[in-house]
Amino acid sequence: MQKRYMVIWFRYLTTDWLTLRKPELKDVPFAFVAPERNRVIITAASPIAETQGIYRGMSAADAKAITTNLQVVDHLQGKEAKLLRELGLWCIRYTPIVAVDLPDGLILDISGCAHLWGDEREYLKEIVNKLRSSGYNARAAIADTIGAAWAIAHYGKTTPIVESGAQAQALLHLPPVALRLENTVLQKQQKLGFATIKSFMQIPRSVLRRRFGEGFLLKLGQALGVENEHFTSLVPPVPYTERLPCLEPVRTVKAIEIAITKLLEALCARLQAEGKGVRKATLKCYRIDGKMVQGKISTNRGSHSVSHLFKLFELQISKIEPALGIELFLLEAPKVEDIDPLQEKLWAGKPGLQDKALAELLDKLAGKIGAKAIYRYLPSENYWPERAIKQTSSLLDVSATKWRTDRPRPLRLLQRPEPVEVMALLPDYPPKFFTYKGKRHVVEKADGPERIEREWWQDKGLHRDYYAVEDADGQRYWLFRSGHYDDAPQWYLHGFFA
């Protein structure tokens, strides 16, 4: 089979990506900048900036002098590689062999693939149009060699498809830079007046070797097809996905729980056999009205415990709206990690605090980090939050009272409430937003107030009105206002919910 390659060039890779994230930059000139020696240079310029004379490698000071409204953004180290990898994995739907060509391209081995889209022209058109509709300025070319496809994609002005065996003819009128040559070689050719590849194509190899070195002949040979060019293709992540179609649309909470259990049993059995555990998982529910609702979970360490993962998904069921019914469940684990199967035995059964293995584990941890760093909390019969818990280091201690379950309490309670700046409506409305450690949190949901009076027989002071709030990022906090609402009430953050 004749080898055929496609090279895709993303002319404005990072600037296109930033425009997608920040649409307000679409109509203004902007550029990425980075320090180089004793100056700051442009590393990438947007299309509008280029039309105003800004180009890569220019001093940022000169660029700002040319364009007074130029917006500059710090260069993101390694961003090109991450973007190209994501785009390359996306291209695997068109060919199984895709490689990253830093800093702004992809190499596709399309041998035997193009006929599935009709011909090479329709194949190229399909890929380029999809990339452009996604917001990326992409150019592509197809040829027998990677070098020829790269040259046409970057510098070609006619057809992007080079017929098989015609790469030499296609290269003749292109500039020498199209061969991916080093700057020193390009400077020598410029001095000798070589403006196109045609101007040195017929010169003997021995003369070209003396003038430009072996590296020049290698690049020329790779473009013409007389030298092999190797590359490392991307390896897509192993997909961990389980599907559960429904004979009848599912609408009840119990049915959703059964579906989650079946999916987790299948997924965890596979992960356990491979010695892996879930770090992130997504449950996608496809409804009969054509819409999809989902719930996501994450773990601190890999786990393939069905009961543990089910408890995490159980908290997400309230967010799943079945509407007229769910006809397909899809469970995906985009992030997994290798785990030690011996540690997973802690999840088996219900050993409780009397389990010998737990005591031995704590002894080992105490030997490494110190016994004072390990303790457990027990409930204390007090209403004031700071006094409602007590510490103990023994597994045998038993509390005379039980944990309160009638009111929400944060998983982490600060030893001392920390003051926050709050904007709230009068008189007893929850906060609209609050500022904690310099970060502003916009409150999306709130519950309260819950008034907690001081225990007068222990100390004197103001009562507290507590609110459980959730910000726009889904983080939940326990806030309170000290005393009655007056001209300048003081607010505090006292805890964090899970």
pLDDT at residue 30, as a whole number: 94
| Band of residue 28 on the pLDDT scale cut at 50, 70, 90 | very high
- The amino acid sitting at 201 is M
Close Cβ partners of 111 (under 8 Å, ≥ 6 residues apart): 1, 2, 3, 4
Q: Cβ distance 467 to 446 under 8 Å? A: yes
Residue 30 bridge partners (DSSP): 71
Q: Enter the DSSP assignment of 457.
A: T
Q: Cβ distance 180 to 155 under 8 Å? A: no
pLDDT at residue 365, as a whole number: 78
403: buried, middle or exposed (CB in 10 Å: 19+, 13-18, 0-12)? exposed
pLDDT at residue 300, as a whole number: 84
Q: For residue 168, is pLDDT > 70?
A: yes
Residue 43 CB neighbour total at 10 angstroms: 20
What number is the average pLDDT over the span 473-485?
Answer: 89
Q: For residue 119, is pLDDT > 90?
A: yes
145: buried, middle or exposed (CB in 10 Å: 19+, 13-18, 0-12)? buried
What number is the average pLDDT over the span 250-263?
Answer: 93
pLDDT at residue 425, as a whole number: 78
Residue 479 bridge partners (DSSP): 467, 493
The pair of structure tokens assigned to 185 is 């070689």
Tell me the percentage of the chain whose pLDDT exceeds 90: 58
- Pairing mode, if any, of strands 292-303 and 276-287? antiparallel
Q: Cβ distance 175 to 155 under 8 Å? A: yes
Residue 491 bridge partners (DSSP): 420, 481
Q: Cβ distance 146 to 7 under 8 Å? A: yes
Q: For residue 403, is pLDDT > 90?
A: no
What torsion, rounded to 10 degrees, do the Cα atoms 302, 306, 308, 312 define?
90
**Phi and psi, residue 100, nearest 5°:** -85, 135
Q: Cβ distance 107 to 5 under 8 Å? A: yes
Q: What is the mean pLDDT of the chain?
A: 88
pLDDT at residue 346, as a whole number: 53
What number is the average pLDDT over the span 33-40?
Answer: 89
pLDDT at residue 222, as a whole number: 94
Q: Enter the DSSP assignment of 97.
A: -
113-117, 153-157, 374-378: range with lowest mean pLDDT: 374-378
Q: Enter the DSSP assignment of 115.
A: G
What number is the average pLDDT over the span 231-250?
Answer: 86
- Cα-based angle 80, 82, 86 (whole degrees, multiple of 5): 115
What number is the average pLDDT over the span 202-211?
Answer: 91
| Band of residue 139 on the pLDDT scale cut at 50, 70, 90 | very high
What number is the average pLDDT over the span 180-203?
Answer: 91
Closest Cα partner for 449 from 479, 471, 426, 425?
A: 479
Residue 420 bridge partners (DSSP): 491
DSSP sequence for 218-285 = HHHHHHHTSS----PPP-PPPP-EEEEEEEEEE-SHHHHHHHHHHHHHHHHHHHHHHTEEEEEEEEEE
pLDDT at residue 67, as a whole number: 86
Instruction: Determine the distance from the C-alpha atom of residue 155 to the mean position of all C-alpha atoms in its chain, rounded to a whole number.
Output: 33
pLDDT at residue 2, as a whole number: 85
Residue 286 bridge partners (DSSP): 292, 328
What number is the average pLDDT over the span 88-114?
Answer: 93
Q: Is 144 helix (H, G, I), strand (E, B) or coil?
A: coil
CB environment 160-185: b (16+ within 10 A), e (fewer): bbbeeeebbebbeebbbbbbebeeeb
| Band of residue 105 on the pLDDT scale cut at 50, 70, 90 | very high
Close Cβ partners of 234 (under 8 Å, ≥ 6 residues apart): 85, 88, 89, 92, 98, 99, 100
Closest Cα partner for 178 from 198, 205, 208, 204?
A: 198
What pTM was estimated for this model as a whole? 0.54
Q: Give the DSSP H/E element, type plus range, for residue 332.
A: strand 326-338
The pair of structure tokens assigned to 21 is 């994230």
List of domains in the chain: 5-147 (3.40.1170.60), 241-344 (3.30.1490.100), 350-406 (no CATH), 412-496 (no CATH)
Q: Cβ distance 30 to 50 under 8 Å? A: no
Helices 214-224, 205-212: inter-axial angle, 10-degree rounding: 130
**Phi and psi, residue 471, nearest 5°:** -90, 180
Question: 333-367: per-residue pLDDT in tens?
Answer: 988 888 865 554 555 556 666 666 777 777 777 77
Q: Cβ distance 83 to 13 under 8 Å? A: yes
Q: For residue 312, is pLDDT > 70?
A: yes
What number is the average pLDDT over the span 451-478?
Answer: 88
Residue 292 CB neighbour total at 10 angstroms: 11
